[in-house]
């Protein structure tokens, strides 16, 4: 408003000042032009408030939306904390054959062990909930009637370039080998190697023998039972941490 009064005061003083100083018609016309310019500036200044008001309203709406989004995320965090408490895994049981390498923020864990002259590594993925959409109880928790499977990749090496690789679908009561391949560890992906036949094309005796082979190396029902609880717990923890990071980002942006 101070600028408005300055412009108004300046425009009202131009004509008397010009006439008093020079008094010529040319000067008067110049002064009148100055007055017109002053009025134009005044009108432009007044009109400039219209987009400013619209801009302010848009900011208010955006701010209101961001606050609402944060409240919704807070509600999700509260629910996720309850689920995380509900599915908290027990401590690693005595006799568990693997060392667990679990990096927060990653969707997999890595198990390692040495068995005789073999190095065994197991890549454990998040449970697949694809077939358990309708198995939640009244509180929204998983009721255990239909259990999600856990994808595993088991790699067995003996210090040479070759390694056996098993792709496995694991349930607490069933361990299914989906594929078996013999790979060279340092082979470039561009090289298409013959890694062996489809596992289900092998003889039944050979399939059963490899099931027993994995069991001796620690891939057995007791291991899967714990991994099942551990990965369910990790899944809930990772989701909770993701929500907290999301909230911080939105809050900082806001």
**Angle CA 167–170–172, to nearest 5:** 165
- pLDDT value at position 66? 79
Kindly report, residue by residue over 112-149, the tens digit of the pLDDT. 999 999 999 999 999 887 655 544 454 444 454 567 89
Sheet with strand 162-171: strands edge to edge:
99-101, 108-115, 118-125, 150-157, 162-171, 174-184
- pLDDT value at position 106? 93
- pLDDT value at position 153? 97
- pLDDT value at position 35? 43
Global pTM value: 0.67
- pLDDT value at position 26? 41
- pLDDT value at position 59? 65
- Name the DSSP letter for residue 202: S
pLDDT under 70 in the chain at which residues? 1-56, 58-61, 130-146, 185-195, 253-254
Instruction: Pick the closest to residue 150 from 136, 135, 129, 165 (CA basis).
Output: 129
Whole-angstrom Cα distance, residue 244 to residue 235? 14
Whole-angstrom Cα distance, residue 82 to residue 101? 26
- pLDDT value at position 128? 82
Whole-angstrom Cα distance, residue 37 to residue 235? 69
Instruction: Pick the closest to residue 167 from 182, 155, 178 (CA basis).
Output: 178
- pLDDT value at position 34? 47
- pLDDT value at position 41? 53
| Cβ proximity of 135 and 142 under 8 Å | yes
- pLDDT value at position 121? 97
Whole-angstrom Cα distance, residue 115 to residue 133? 39
């Amino acid at each position: 408003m101070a600028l408005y009064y300055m412009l108004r005061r300046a425009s009202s003083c131009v004509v008397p000042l010009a006439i008093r100083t020079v008094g010529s018609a040319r000067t008067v016309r110049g002064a009148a032009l100055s007055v017109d310019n002053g009025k134009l500036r005044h009108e432009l200044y007044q009109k400039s408030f219209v987009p400013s008001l619209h801009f302010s309203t848009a900011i208010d709406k955006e701010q209101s939306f961001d606050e609402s989004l944060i409240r919704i995320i807070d509600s999700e965090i509260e629910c996720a904390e309850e689920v995380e408490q509900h599915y908290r895994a027990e401590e690693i049981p005595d006799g568990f054959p693997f060392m667990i390498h679990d990096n927060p923020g990653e969707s997999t864990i890595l198990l390692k062990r040495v068995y005789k002259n073999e190095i065994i590594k197991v890549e454990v993925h998040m449970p697949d909930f694809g077939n358990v959409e309708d198995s939640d109880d009244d509180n929204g928790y998983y009721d255990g009637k239909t259990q999600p499977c856990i994808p595993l990749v088991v790699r067995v090496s003996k210090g040479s370039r070759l390694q056996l690789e098993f792709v496995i679908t694991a349930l607490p009561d069933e361990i299914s080998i989906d594929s078996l391949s013999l790979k060279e560890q340092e082979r470039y992906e561009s090289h298409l190697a013959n890694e062996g036949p489809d596992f289900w094309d092998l003889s039944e005796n050979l399939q059963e023998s490899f099931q027993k082979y994995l069991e001796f190396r620690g891939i057995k029902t007791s291991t899967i039972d714990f991994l099942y609880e551990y990965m369910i717990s990790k899944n809930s923890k990772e989701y909770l941490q993701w929500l907290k990071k999301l909230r911080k980002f939105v809050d900082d942006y806001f």
